[in-house]
């Protein structure tokens, strides 16, 4: 069996690009391959989604390659952490040698973001939930936040702190959408428009163009490349629900299962982790993931973040690029979690670099707290 490693990572253009999805995809792939020192002709595996029903074949056709391995699994924001597991096995077994995991969206340029509810009208949730007019996925996360705030006295303050912390990291990242903006204040957060109670505009991720790509190959090929390889130490996933009515506890997600599997595979503990990149579609997503992954106990995530430890210079570096709240959120953010984790482990992050970062967690959440996938990476 061969040893898979990550050898390339890059974003495409971010923000408002006025480019097509395939243009952005190709840009991300080309930049990641250049980062690795590889060519498009070296690629024999593709994992991607959201271009079309045949996303991997569409991208392969656009790039002019005929891959031996493809994956177009759609699980929302956690898809890309899931792809790491699939690509790992494909490379380890020799099915293919160089896999590109990529995503891009032009949702802001195209003004295509829809909050109109479930679109597959044949599904049970369309029949039993859409009739009540929820904003999808916003209102579902709002229900989880409402439950958390009801149960945990300082829950609202903790959600605000997550947004404040993300902004502080974004102010150190020139690529962040909010770079150059002012720090967030509690007064500003509390005065932001209410979108779906109790979530205000400041609790919600950005809506931007963007995306990126990472390159996975085996350690033998990596020896001849220019980039510093990053080890894939562990991964795990969990799928819990599609509809909200089947969610047994709004404060418990599949992050516990995916995290336990990943940490067991990696053979490391929570206290060993230096950098944590968590999906932050909404502030509540981050808080529930912190607890689910075991960095804080159930109901203890609020106290965990309120002392400021997740901000720059704190003891628990969290979402160090500014996250989906202040850096970029192209509709599915999971690939950007992986890119930031790789860069931190390589020591490439400039003013936001976490000193001596050796181990990183990238954790994706998809759907309405439906899917969770955890990846643990290590520096070499």
DSSP of 282-303: BHHHHHHHHHHTTSS-TTTHHH
Both tokens of residue 144?
């989880």
Are 217 and 69 spatial neighbours (Cβ–Cβ below 8 Å)? no
Nearest-angstrom CA–CA distance, 287 and 185: 19
User: At CA 137, angle to CA 135 and CA 142, rounded to 5?
Assistant: 80
Q: Which of 83, 141, 177, 327 is catalytic?
A: 327
Looking only at the bridges linking them, the beta strands covering 199-200 and 210-218 are unpaired
Looking only at the bridges linking them, the beta strands covering 194-196 and 69-71 are unpaired
Q: Which of 88, 177, 279, 333 is catalytic?
A: 279
Are 348 and 123 spatial neighbours (Cβ–Cβ below 8 Å)? no
Q: Which strand (E) or helix (H) includes residue 362? A: strand 359-366
User: For residue 155, with 0-12 CB atoms within 10 Å meaning exposed, 13-18 middle and 19 or more buried, which class applies?
Assistant: buried
The reply to whether 327 belongs to the active site is: yes
Both tokens of residue 65?
């390659």
Are 99 and 47 spatial neighbours (Cβ–Cβ below 8 Å)? yes
Residues identified as active-site: 279, 327
């Amino acid at each position: 069996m061969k040893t898979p490693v990550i050898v390339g990572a890059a974003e495409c253009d971010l923000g408002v690009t006025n480019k097509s999805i395939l243009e952005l995809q190709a840009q991300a792939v080309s930049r990641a391959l250049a980062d690795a020192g590889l060519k498009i002709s070296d690629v024999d595996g593709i994992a991607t989604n959201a271009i079309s029903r045949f996303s991997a074949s569409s991208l392969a056709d656009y790039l002019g390659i005929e891959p031996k391995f493809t994956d177009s699994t759609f699980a929302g924001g956690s898809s890309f952490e899931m792809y790491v597991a699939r690509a790992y096995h494909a490379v380890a077994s020799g099915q293919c040698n160089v896999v590109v995991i990529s995503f891009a969206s032009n949702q802001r340029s195209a003004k295509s973001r829809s909050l109109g509810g479930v679109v597959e009208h044949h599904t049970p949730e369309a029949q039993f939930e859409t009739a009540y007019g929820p904003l999808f996925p916003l209102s579902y996360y709002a229900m989880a936040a409402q439950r958390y705030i009801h149960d945990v006295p300082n829950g609202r303050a903790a959600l605000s702190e997550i947004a404040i912390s993300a902004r502080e990291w974004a102010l150190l990242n020139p690529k962040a959408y909010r770079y150059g903006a002012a720090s967030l204040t509690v007064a500003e957060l509390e005065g932001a428009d209410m979108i779906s109670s109790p979530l205000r505009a400041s609790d919600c991720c950005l809506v931007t163009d963007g995306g990126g790509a990472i390159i996975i190959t085996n350690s033998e090929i990596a020896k001849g490349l220019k980039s510093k390889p990053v080890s894939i130490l562990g991964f795990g996933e969990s799928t819990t629900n599609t509809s909200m009515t089947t969610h047994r506890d709004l404060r418990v997600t599949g992050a516990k299962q995916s995290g336990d599997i990943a940490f067991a595979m990696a053979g490391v503990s929570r206290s060993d982790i230096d950098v944590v990149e968590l999906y932050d579609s909404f502030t509540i997503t981050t808080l529930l993931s912190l607890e689910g992954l075991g960095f804080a106990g159930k109901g203890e995530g609020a106290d965990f973040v309120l002392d400021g430890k997740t901000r720059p210079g704190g003891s628990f570096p969290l979402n160090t690029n500014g996250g989906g709240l202040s850096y970029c959120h192209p509709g599915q953010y999971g690939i950007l979690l992986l890119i930031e984790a790789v860069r931190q482990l390589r020591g490439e992050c400039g003013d936001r670099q976490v000193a001596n970062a050796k181990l990183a967690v990238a954790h994706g959440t998809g759907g309405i707290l439906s899917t969770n996938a955890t990846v643990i990476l290590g520096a070499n």
